[in-house]
Structure 1
């Protein structure tokens, strides 16, 4: 059984001008421990699909099953990383990363020890008493990810998590985030508009068509050297092949 099963998802929006169909009969599966990216033309409904998959939005039709159950019955298994880090500037790094635990009344000696271990493992212990304004953009994203991981979710949803960073920072943070997700053995689903980002991070890329969006292609990504970092993958011989393949899928009539 797949960890997540997306079946016949459709989404319609209603306004005084009429009905707009954003998603039409979207189907695919996500296996445990995999990193999946969703690509598609601008405005095709990638973030809408992510919100439906994570249980934040109700589809017009179809279902999302988590281990065979309605995803909304398993919201405690889900972590969500948004485009912006949403750190509270008046809180320290430590206060930010334990916030979810405090809200859910799960802050205890065991959870504190786990969060301390995450900060230590990913180079943030000496910044635990700093405020977000004292951190680089990449460090802020690491803090945001650790805050999400503090609740120990099984699956992570990432909505263009690097889009607020400059290009150089994006390359560095991609490596950081990938390492953390793989080390913590989490399943991840990321929405991105960046083909290179999708290839370097993912084990499979889902390509959506233009609106009303459906799955146009599912491209497995495999590099002969499995130890490469996302940055190193960009220089591997397979990279340009995948780039050309995905570029063609995105621009070949897109429908």
Structure 2
């Protein structure tokens, strides 16, 4: 059984000017341990789809199942990583990371030990008493991800998590996030507008059509060397083939 099943999901928005259909019968599945990226033309509803998948939005029709149950009954299994890190500038790294645990009343010796282990594993332990303004953009994103992982989610949703960073930082943080998610054995679904990013970090790319969106293609990404980092994949001979295919899928019929 798939970890996540998106079945006949449609979404209509209503305004004074009338009805706008954003999504039209979207269907696909996500298996446990997969890293999937969602690509599509600008304004096609990628973030809307992500928010339906994680239970923040109710679709006009269709449903999302998590292990065969309604996603809204499993919100505690979900972690979310936003475009911005949303760290509180007046809190230290430690205080930011344990915030979710405090809110959910899960802060105890065991969870504190886990947070310390995560900070240590991903190079942030010596910065635990620093403030966000003292960190680089990449380090801030690592803190945001560790804050999410502290709650032990089974599936992560990432909404263009690198878009607020400069190009060099994006490359470095993409490697960092990929390593963390792979090491922690998490299932992840990412929305991005960056073809190269999707290829370098994903095992499968879902390509959406222009609005009203549905699934145009599902493209497996499988490099011969499975140990390459996202940055190394960009320099692999296989990379250009995937890029050209995705570029064609995105632009054929989407002009």
Aligned residue in 2 for 1:76? 76
Query: Unmatched 5+ residue regions in structure 2?
Result: none
Aligned counterpart, 2:150: 150
Q: Distance in 2 between matches of 1:42 and 1:116?
A: 40
| 2:206 corresponds to 1:206 | yes
Give the TM-score normalised by structure 2. 0.99
RMSD: 0.6
TM-superposed deviation, 1:253: 1.2
CA distance in 1, matches of 2:208, 2:238: 22
Shift of 1:155: 0.1
Q: Which whole-Å deviations, capped at 9, do the CAs of 1:56-80 have from their partners, x for residues lacking one?
A: 0000000000000000000000000
Residue 121 of structure 2 corresponds to 121
Give distance in 2, aligned partners of 1:79 and 1:96. 15
- 1:131 CA drift (Å): 0.3
| Inter-partner Cα distance in structure 2 for 1:247 and 1:207 | 10
Q: Deviations over 1:156-212 (max 9, x none)?
A: 000000000000000000000000000000000000000000000000000000000
Q: What is the 5 A alignment of 1:49-128?
A: 49-128=49-128
The two structures have a TM-score, normalised by structure 1, of 0.99
> Could you list the per-position Cα deviations for residues 206-236 of structure 1 after superposition, in whole angstroms to 9, with x for gaps in the alignment?
0000000000000000000000000000011
In 2, Cα distance between the equivalents of 1:252 and 1:9? 23
Runs of 4+ aligned structure 1 residues displaced above 3 Å come to none
Count of paired positions: 255
Report the counterpart of residue 23 of structure 2 in structure 1.
Answer: 23
1:227 aligned partner: 227
Deviation string, structure 1 residues 91-113 (Cα, Å, up to 9, x no partner): 00000000000000000000000
The match for 2:48 is: 48
Q: 1:8 aligns to what?
A: 8
Gaps of 5+ in 1: none
